[in-house]
Structure 1
Amino acid sequence: MKWFKKLAVVTLAAAFTLSAVTSAGAASKLSGKVVINGSSALLPLTLQAANEFKKLHPKVKISASAAGSVTGPQAVRKGIADIGACDWDASTDVPGFKKFTGQVANKVAVIPFAAVVNSNVKVDNLTTKQLQDIFSGKVTNWKDVGGSDAEIVVVNRSFGSGTRVNFQLKALKGSDFMSKGSNYKEVKSSGDMKTAVESTPNAIGYMDLAYVTSKMTALKIDGVAPTEANVINKKYDVWSYGYYMTSEKPSDATKEFIKYVQSAKFQNGSLKKLKFIPISAMK
């Protein structure tokens, strides 16, 4: 009887081993190239997912770059990218941008955005009206909104940024941005925004939570902090879905990569660690 139990254990172990080998072999057969362009807000997520996916499918080559959300669907339309990362559903019209016909929008994340200030700014909460006045250039000194007597430096994203689209629509309620002045800077990417806010005393800007560091403060808006819990509970509304735009007939490698990003393993693991919110969390 003992030998039978041992044989059963050995047989079971062998079955698991064979299953694992078979699974790995099947995964390794996937090949191809996936080119991703677009949103810099989504870039940390994309790079992490690419790193994990390539370990499972070493024959798939993935390259990712970010020059702003609008460049994603543009690159897909031109045929130079398989995935266009975008902070809005580019298959529909949004203010300032016409829809990209013939493209499919795949939700991959919930992106919380925050107004951020340099660490020397002694303000941690602004009202919607105060944000509108600051970013439009009506208010130019921190003392007018509860801070020190210092000129406010406004850092803005360039046109075509999905972060800019969402911040203007949701944090500023459609209010216009200022566009010039000695206290105005404009940057091209989320990484450039992070560097500018960190290194510029008295600066204010905005970005998704994945880029927020200890060298800056993510502001409360109307007393509500930009946290995962507040987004999920619908107390904080400055957020958007992040999308991977594709053609109507993406390659197998592209489909599998998107499927991996949407998987519970990635959504509840690396995605959350990067300060994004799983798409399943929003009801």
Structure 2
Amino acid sequence: MKNAFASLLTLALLALVTGCKGGDKDPKAPAGDAAKPEASAPQAGGNALTIKGSDTMVILGQQWAEAFMKANPDQRIQVTGGGSGTGIAALLNGTTEIAMSSRSIKPAEAQQLQTRLKVQARETPVARDGVTFYVHESNPVRALSIDQLQAIYLGDVKNWKEVGGSDARIVVYSRENSSGTYVFVKDEVLKGEDFTSEALTLPGTAAVVNAVAKEKHGIGFGGAAYGKGIRELAVKVGNEEVAPSEANIQSGLYPLSRDLFFYTRGEPSGAAKTFIDFALSPEGQSIVTRVGYFPLKK
């Protein structure tokens, strides 16, 4: 019995010693490392600069990001769309460093940022654009006044023959209400009134262009850079038809000219500032031209 008891006691002591050593754990490792084996590992996307918002600007943002990362291979940038409102909301809740917006920030949004985070929204114009109305290439209409566009998008004019076109029902395409371009058209064309309930809402400018390119009686709107495969309408100003050309948009003669913006929480710093400086540099502004928008005035 004594021998058996001694053997059991020896085995127990060996097990206790082995357990205290921690198996394969390095005895020189600091206490607590075993419980957090990935404590020092960088989190996925943790060092990426996030840019979110305007679908009008998403291609431009991606082009800027690609050029910037090529020159700065250690910097990762994530660019996503969703609409200007979505980008500004992400800025408010801290999930993006830069919000892209094709409209100015609303006073209520700026106040939320001030109240919630105690910082002011910093607005940086980064490019020029002209909101453009698109029609099918076969449509005989070449220009419409703001009043005519308003009547179409309010649903007061439903047939192309009422504005100089063929006898056909107008198929109206619009953007979702989180879009900065939607807000711009509502403010500048509809004068704050609501879009017709017959307007077909699409999730992005590219989708609007694609729809109008396939629907010969359609009309839609979006940024100038997306006007491919369709025809852009001039806007009648008095007796003059003003096209959304670079010269007219740069000068503001085109009545639906606008700036495209970056918004940050206070003055940008670190990677955000470096990226914004790049977007405003001669190289960055040349990308604006290549994408199809217009550089800022020098």
Fold match (TM-score > 0.5): yes
Name structure 1 gaps, 5 residues minimum.
1-30
Deviations 1:48-89 (A, max 9, x none): 100100011001111111111011111111111111101123
**2:50/2:98 contact within 8 Å kept:** yes
Secondary structure of 1:201's counterpart equals coil
Match of 1:277 in 2: 294
CA distance in 2, matches of 1:139, 1:78: 41
Match of 2:212 in 1: 197
Deviations 1:209-234 (A, max 9, x none): 11110x21110110111111112233
Name structure 2 gaps, 5 residues minimum.
1-45
1:172 Cα offset (Å): 4.0
Greater mean deviation of Cα atoms: 232-241 or 131-140: 232-241
**1:116/1:206 contact within 8 Å kept:** yes
Deviations 1:144-164 (A, max 9, x none): 111111110000111121111
1:143 Cα offset (Å): 1.1
CA distance in 2, matches of 1:134, 1:59: 50
Match of 1:266 in 2: 284
1:132 counterpart = 2:132: no
Deviations 1:258-283 (A, max 9, x none): 1100112221x1111222222225xx
**1:35/1:64 contact within 8 Å kept:** yes
**2:250/2:297 contact within 8 Å kept:** no
CA distance in 2, matches of 1:139, 1:217: 20
Whichever residue aligns with residue 248 of structure 2, its letter is N
Match of 1:218 in 2: 232
1:115 counterpart = 2:133: yes
CA distance in 2, matches of 1:127, 1:245: 32
Match of 1:23 in 2: none
Whichever residue aligns with residue 163 of structure 1, its letter is T
**1:66/1:189 contact within 8 Å kept:** no
State TM-score, norm by structure 1. 0.80
1:158 counterpart = 2:153: no
Match of 1:47 in 2: 62
CA distance in 2, matches of 1:65, 1:234: 29
**1:170/1:237 contact within 8 Å kept:** no
Indicate which of 107, 122, 126 corresponds to 1:104: 122
Whichever residue aligns with residue 42 of structure 1, its letter is M
CA distance in 2, matches of 1:230, 1:67: 29
Q: Percent identity?
A: 31
Choose 1 or 2 for highest CA Rg: 2
Match of 1:4 in 2: none
Indicate which of 92, 98, 101 corresponds to 1:86: 101
* Superposition RMSD in Å: 1.8
CA distance in 2, matches of 1:275, 1:173: 28
Whichever residue aligns with residue 73 of structure 2, its letter is P
